[in-house]
Structures are given as structure tokens and as C-alpha cells.
Structure 1
């Protein structure tokens, strides 16, 4: 544990989700793998489609609607609709197929293995502070049992622009009714989490699970505190 800035009293804690409270890279990899397999089996017209093809559809949607980048779920939905139209489906079948694919995506996206230690730590913290989740991702804490610890969950697109934009951070402070300087944001990303939180007037805790050297990181933003394990929060709050 390393302290870089003086911490003021903490009255609430906000958390990033992906790769902060659980490992997310393997979840995304498996989700994309399962989804591609499902799409290929959906119709023989999709037999040879690949992830590059799917990304091309997303790229087109982003160009047409630049602000959609802040809502990755809606981006996926619209690009899936585009795929169906591209392959000759009418509107009714496009909507039906898109809903089926998005349902499959939601299932696999939330097959997340939450460490038992995460539940234990949140259980202890929630007795002392209001907790909030602020995420750029589209995992649903209700599905994997973390929602009970949070007063509310803010998601990019629905609740504002992607972090490091101030939108969700400031909304969190407003809904909590607590000044930003008394809120500690915990996240794994030095830009989206640490820079975003500090620019919003919050305190920031960098969870550096991979034990990277702060001095070697690009676009460096100094957190208030660096920890290597989530359990360290119990000793600084």
C-alpha cells in the first residue's frame, strides 16, 4: 500500500466494476467467443462471419452516431441490427434476431466469477459507508449478486458519458448528497478511474492488482492511495 496524497475523511465509496471487483478479461473473451458461435449457427448466411466483420458494423455505427460510443450496449444492438439488414432480413426478423443475440450476449456477459473475498470485503464496508458502482461496462450486478451492496449503479450511456468524463462521478455525488472530497473512488484504470475521479474532486484509490510501477505508466495520474488487494481498503477506511 502506498499513499501519494493526504486522505480526507471518507463518507462514501464508489467502485468501478470490471477488473476492480472481479477479473473481467476472460469473461469478455468467452462472451465474444460464445456469441460468435451463436451467430454463425443462427443462419447459414452467417456461417463465415467473424469478429472483424462485427467490428466493422460497429465502426460504421460509430461514424454515423458518434455519441453512441458512450453506450456500448446500444452500440452493440444497433450494429447487430445492421448485420441483419445487411444479410437481407426484413424489419420484423431483424428485431427478433437482434433481441435473441442480445439476450445471449447478456447471459454470457454476466457469467462472472466473483471471489468470495469480494463479498466479504463489501459486506464489511457497507456497514460503514454507502457504496456505489460507477461503470463504463455493461455487466449487471443484479445477475451476479453484487447489487445488494450498492445504493445505486451508474452506467455509461444511461447515466452519462464514459469515464473519465465527470458525468457519472458528479451524478454520484449529487445522488449521495455528499461533497466529492469526502468520496473515495476505487478502480483499476489510471485514466478512466483515477484521473476521472480526481478531476471530479473525489479522492482516488488505484487497485493495482498486477503490481505495475506507477512511474512506468503512460498518461500518469497520481492517485491518493495505491493498493494491491481489495482487502487493503479495510485498513484505510
Structure 2
């Protein structure tokens, strides 16, 4: 079914890999964390430099915090705490260490089409940031574009759970059917939004095939600039 522009009263927007590439951001944050640990907890830094150890710590953190798979910050901080314990360093350093990671996590490099799209969309609709991750539009400096921000940690679940999308609609006082969700992940953004009753625009920068029939996005675009062109007549 094609996009019905007349029904759109608000827009929810994924963040990671929609407005900026996430993995370069995470890599920089990991490096900042390792540098901090090298100064303050060198034994932990040596432990965390081992890929297998990092994976084991993440798995242990998930077991330590059952029911928190949706909370990236809690899991990350717990993994740091466990690493400090295992290495014989002070586990009370976990909070400070995590803040180093999180601060660098907010230093994103926007896709070229992201800022013009935010300016365009925010002039026409209330925008809701909707993310499974721990990016913070306020700390990034994009808060003036958004009427609200919804994260998995506050809802208690993650996309594609319909409760995430419903919370976004509720935050701007519209029905889910009146929201257009924009995101890059075919399952978490695409199927999640469609199952929640929203219209959905799939940002498919890499020209991937859609593999989630019978669900179908209302619009597929290769960039946010193309999306704005499509919405210009709304």
C-alpha cells in the first residue's frame, strides 16, 4: 500500500544508522573507554583488550541482569563492573568508566542528508526520537528538532515490540495510525512499526532486499533527501 500523506500527523525517527553510522561511533567510544581504563585500571584494560574476554563479559552481564536485554546502558556498565572485579580493580570505578564511554557515544558524525532532513521534517511534524540504543539527542545537540524522545530503557522493551511505537505516538498525542516511522532496520523499525499500525518508510541506504513478507513498507528510499522530496507535497 502506498504512503498516505494525508494521514501523517507525526513522525517517529530511528537514530543509529538512520541519522549517523553507528559502528564508527561505538568504535570511538570503545577506544575512549580503553584509554581511560589504561590510566585508571590497567589490569582491566588488558582484560578488555581481549575480544573473547569482552564477549564473555557481555554474556555474563546479561545473566547478571535478567530481563534487561533492552537496556544497553545497564548491560554495558555491568560488563565494565564485572571486568573490574575479574581483573582485581575497584568495581566502584564502573560508573566513571561507563560515563567516559557514554560521553564519546554521543559524539556522532551525521550522514550528509540528516541535518537537512531534520530541519525539513521538524517544520512539518512533531518528531519523536525512537531508539533501542543509548544515544541521547539532548547530549548530541539535536534536541531542538524533537518534540519527544523514547528509549527502550524507559519502556522496558525494545523495537520491534509494539509498545515502543505506541509510546512514541502517545508522547505526541496522536494515534499510531497517524505516525510515519522512519528507520533503517527492516525488522526492528519496519516490521515493528507496521505491526503497531503505523505507516513506515524504510531507509535502505545499501539497497538490501526486503525479506519480511507479508509485511511491506509504505515507502522505500535510499536516503533521507529522497524521503523529504516525497513528503514535500504533504
Same fold (TM over 0.5): yes
Change (3 A) 1:79 1:120: same
Distance 1:100 1:204 in 2: 39
Per-residue CA deviations over 1:183-237 (Å, capped at 9, x if unaligned) read 10000000000011011111111000112233xx467742111011101222333
Residues 187 and 207 in structure 1, CA contact (< 8 A), matched pair in contact too: yes
Name the SS of the counterpart of 2:123 in structure 1: coil
Match of 1:94 in 2: 91
Match of 2:85 in 1: 85
Distance 1:67 1:34 in 2: 28
> Aligned Cα RMSD in Å?
2.0
Distance 1:43 1:78 in 2: 16
Match of 2:40 in 1: 42
Match of 1:63 in 2: 63
Per-residue CA deviations over 1:164-192 (Å, capped at 9, x if unaligned) read 01122111112211111111000000000
Distance 2:27 2:162 in 1: 29
Match of 1:222 in 2: 216
The yes-or-no answer on 1:192 pairing with 2:185 is no
Distance 1:40 1:11 in 2: 50
Match of 1:123 in 2: 119
The yes-or-no answer on 1:176 pairing with 2:148 is no
Structure 2: which 5+ runs fail to align?
none
Residues 44 and 84 in structure 2, CA contact (< 8 A), matched pair in contact too: no
Distance 2:187 2:107 in 1: 26
Change (3 A) 1:56 1:40: farther
Residues 21 and 114 in structure 1, CA contact (< 8 A), matched pair in contact too: yes
Distance 1:78 1:118 in 2: 33
Distance 1:34 1:219 in 2: 41
Higher mean Cα deviation, 152-161 or 108-117?
108-117
Distance 2:64 2:139 in 1: 32
Residues 36 and 51 in structure 1, CA contact (< 8 A), matched pair in contact too: no
Distance 2:46 2:169 in 1: 48
Distance 1:44 1:171 in 2: 42
Distance 1:150 1:102 in 2: 26
Change (3 A) 1:196 1:137: same
Distance 1:109 1:220 in 2: 36
Distance 1:145 1:47 in 2: 30
Distance 1:131 1:185 in 2: 10
Distance 1:76 1:179 in 2: 34
Change (3 A) 1:5 1:211: same
